[in-house]
Structure 1
Amino acid sequence: MIAYIRGNLTYIQDEAITVDVHGVGYEIVCANPFVFQASLTKEIQIYTYHHVREDAQVLYGFKNEDEKYLFTKLISVSGIGPKGALAILGGVDITGFVEAIEREDDKFLTSFPGVGKKTARQIILDLKGKLTTMVSISSAEDTKHTDAGEEPDNLKEAQEALKTLGYTEREIKSIIPQLRKEATGNTDEVIRRALALLMSTK
């Protein structure tokens, strides 16, 4: 499996980008290739999913791990293939999409290209409860926090430190609700608590 590709972005097409890695050009199919426009001729890292079937091999690309993770979950749903999953990702707000699944909002899900009522119900059946680690599903505490403004500095600094230590965005997001309740100390204390939470989920 090719987890990601790092190289110079040399070309952008309507459905794909080309990334040059030491003289080899990788064509990578994306939901929104032109989101990478600002990186043209520059080095980028793009997360990839290597899809293999009898008649073709295709690399699909994503801006971040959350997009890739959602893609892999979508193609596991009966009736959704890679092209259908990309069409959903092309207009998706991940938080809103996951929340719609959790509240079984099939009307919202059918607003995406290629998703009828039957497919929307299948998405809910297959994915409800399986994507919540990607986002902080709204609760009274989360709403209160959002209304109050940005994350406290100690929590923001702790998140950056965790990324430096190699934790993924999905892993960090899974513990944010608990950290919000407990982030009363300095940054070092928040980091220690975050590491304890992350270790407990392994």
Structure 2
Amino acid sequence: MISSLRGTVSHVGLNSAVLDVNGFGMQILATPQTLATLRTGQEAQVFTAMIVREDSMTLFGFEEADQREVFETLLGVSGVGPRLALAVLAVHTPEAIRVAASSGDDKAFSKVPGIGPKGARRIVLELADKLVPLGTAGAPPKNAWQGQVLTAMMGLGWSEKDATSAIDAATAEAPEVAAAGNVGEILKLTLRRLGQDGARASARSRVS
């Protein structure tokens, strides 16, 4: 595992750079922001993540270790490969990604080329418990679960209006669950509530 490189910058391109490390030219793929910090002929250090495939070994370079950490976390999301993860970091800072993930802001991820609405919702759902803003590490932001649960419900086919009403009703009946902020438990509670409402509606229609 190559976790960092220090050497002389011998080339900077549109999406990659080459560092001369003890006579070896090491190519890294990086965001425009990271590449903008490199100057040909000057010494530089980059943090790296190495992606190994059957037919290739690719190094991705980052100005800060935090960027690499978020990059590697993004790779754990279904359907997100290294180039798409790098594209996310090209659009958003690590902290912005943490805030978007923890607050259920799927629209932030939709701004990244190559990520559609469904992909953005999936990213938010899968990152919800993995990334939190650094200022609130160890505890989810207040009511961050609301956007995450709503996104999940809409992803399951419920309208925003119906999902919002069900979430409000379910958490009003179990405020201790809402206070804990566990997205999975709140989602189960809401789905159970919708199932109960559906059963009552069906019973009323039979009576009438």
TM-score (ref. length: structure 1): 0.63
Q: Give the Cα separation in 1 of the matches to 2:71 and 2:64.
A: 11
The percent of aligned pairs where both chains have the same amino acid is 33
Tell me what 2:102 maps to.
Answer: 102
Q: Is the Cα contact below 8 Å between 2:102 and 2:141 reproduced in 1?
A: no
Aligned pair count? 138
Q: Give the Cα separation in 1 of the matches to 2:35 and 2:103.
A: 32
Q: Give the Cα separation in 2 of the matches to 1:34 and 1:51.
A: 19
Q: Is the Cα contact below 8 Å between 2:16 and 2:29 reproduced in 1?
A: yes
Q: Give the Cα separation in 2 of the matches to 1:117 and 1:22.
A: 45
1:76 counterpart SS class: coil
Q: Give the Cα separation in 2 of the matches to 1:4 and 1:81.
A: 21
State the 1:40 CA deviation.
2.4
Distance 1:117 1:6, change over 3 A: same
Q: Is the Cα contact below 8 Å between 2:7 and 2:20 reproduced in 1?
A: yes
Deviation per CA, 1:99-122: give whole Å up to 9, x if none: 111111112221111111221122
**Cα RMSD (Å) of the superposition?**
1.9
How do 1:8-87 residues align onto structure 2 when only pairs under 5 Å count? 8-32=8-32, 34-37=35-38, 39-87=39-87
Tell me what 1:144 maps to.
Answer: none
1:45 counterpart SS class: strand
Tell me what 2:7 maps to.
Answer: 7
Distance 1:128 1:10, change over 3 A: same
The amino acid of 1:9's aligned partner reads V
1:136 counterpart SS class: helix
Distance 1:22 1:104, change over 3 A: same
Q: Give the Cα separation in 1 of the matches to 2:93 and 2:12.
A: 23
TM-score (ref. length: structure 2): 0.62
Deviation per CA, 1:139-190: give whole Å up to 9, x if none: 79xxxxxxxxxxxxxxxxxxxxxxxxxxxxxxxxxxxxxxxxxxxxxxxxxx
